[in-house]
Structure 1
Amino acid sequence: MICTIVNKTRDASWKQYYARFEELAKRTCEKLKITEDISISVILVKTKKIHEINLAYRQIDRPTDVISFAICDSEDDYELEEEVKELGDVFINVDAVKEQAESYGHSEEREICFLFIHGLLHCLGYDHMNKKDEKKMFDLQNKILDPVVSR
């Protein structure tokens, strides 16, 4: 999997996590047995920008920690004739990463990686609209993340 990462925060310290995104993307493909060439875009933003995005695209007037835009809504839609299939975009709010890491009592690395996997899984068609789907998605997130970044 190819990860294209765009840092809109003007804070170079977030670059330290780029290799983790690549590693976790690879682990996700292995866990899900994805063998085709796929790519994901990750955009790091601050609270103001993700608030604007959330309002414009979801009509929710508040910031969020991560928001995903999948190019396709179902597995059937991935039957494209491209060499590399683009999954979509994952926007991560770095301000929320800092706040939530402190609130949950774990590292910023754990939080940003969790949000990355969460957004990636959404772009792969996973959701958590009901308890059964939530358990499936969150269990998968932890199976991917726990061996790489401790709690």
Structure 2
Amino acid sequence: MSLQLVWSNEQNDFEISESLISLLETILQKAGEAEGILEGEVDLMFVDDEQIHVLNREYRGIDRPTDVLSFSMVESLDEELDIVYEVEDESELAEITDVLGDIIISIPTAKRQSEEYGHSIERELGFLFVHGFLHLLGYDHQDKESEAEMMSKQEAVLAQVGLTR
């Protein structure tokens, strides 16, 4: 198995092109190489502000839309519920455990942010995607040091694919 991107589109505000998906697949490979992650699956969903607002409220207790959410299958946090898988065949369990997690991106928020920052929607989506991927691996930005580390990693990956500011 290699590092795979599985995606779905649950919004109608922006057309998700094959070239965008190809770019995100390249970003995933570069970010994975940088972190030593060469196998696994990342599930990406594009949604609207209403959908991400519901998820943000339900899972984070924050009652507003956000740009990106990540739900890691790698981390094991005390407050997370244990997930019990019922499988008939042990090979099915191997497929389940290869999932690194889910990344959910709000297209309307990404569009607004790209305009605010004065760069392309592709750069903003690339930034949000690699940001979400790093969260799947356990990175966070709760203080200035960890935020600087994440920002540096994000910008390094984006530079490799030509998405500089």
Same fold (TM over 0.5): yes
Match of 2:122 among 104, 109, 115: 109
Match of 1:124 in 2: 137
TM-score by length of 1: 0.89
Match of 1:2 in 2: 4
SS at structure 2 position matched to 1:14: coil
CA distance in 2, matches of 1:43, 1:69: 12
Q: Does 1:22 align with 2:25?
A: yes
Task: Write out per-residue CA displacement over residues 90-118 of structure 1, whole angstroms, 9 at most, x where no aligned residue.
Answer: 00000011100000000000000000000
CA distance in 1, matches of 2:74, 2:66: 22
SS at structure 1 position matched to 2:123: helix
Task: Write out per-residue CA displacement over residues 18-59 of structure 1, whole angstroms, 9 at most, x where no aligned residue.
Answer: 111100010011111223x21100000000000000011111
Task: Write out per-residue CA displacement over residues 69-98 of structure 1, whole angstroms, 9 at most, x where no aligned residue.
Answer: 011216xxxxxx725611110000000111
CA distance in 1, matches of 2:46, 2:141: 23
The answer (yes or no) to whether the contact 2:47–2:104 under 8 Å persists in 1 is yes
Displacement of 1:17 after TM fit?
A: 1.2
Where does 1:30-69 land on structure 2 (aligned, <5 Å)? 30-35=33-38, 37-69=39-71
Identity across matched positions, percent: 38
Match of 1:77 in 2: none
Displacement of 1:11 after TM fit?
A: 5.1
Where does 1:77-116 land on structure 2 (aligned, <5 Å)? 82=94, 85-116=98-129
Gaps of 5+ in 1: 75-80
TM-score by length of 2: 0.82
SS at structure 1 position matched to 2:138: coil
Please identify runs of 4+ aligned residues in structure 1 that moved more than 3 A.
Answer: none
**Aligned pairs, how many?**
144
Across the aligned residues of Structure 1 and Structure 2, the Cα RMSD in angstroms comes to 1.6
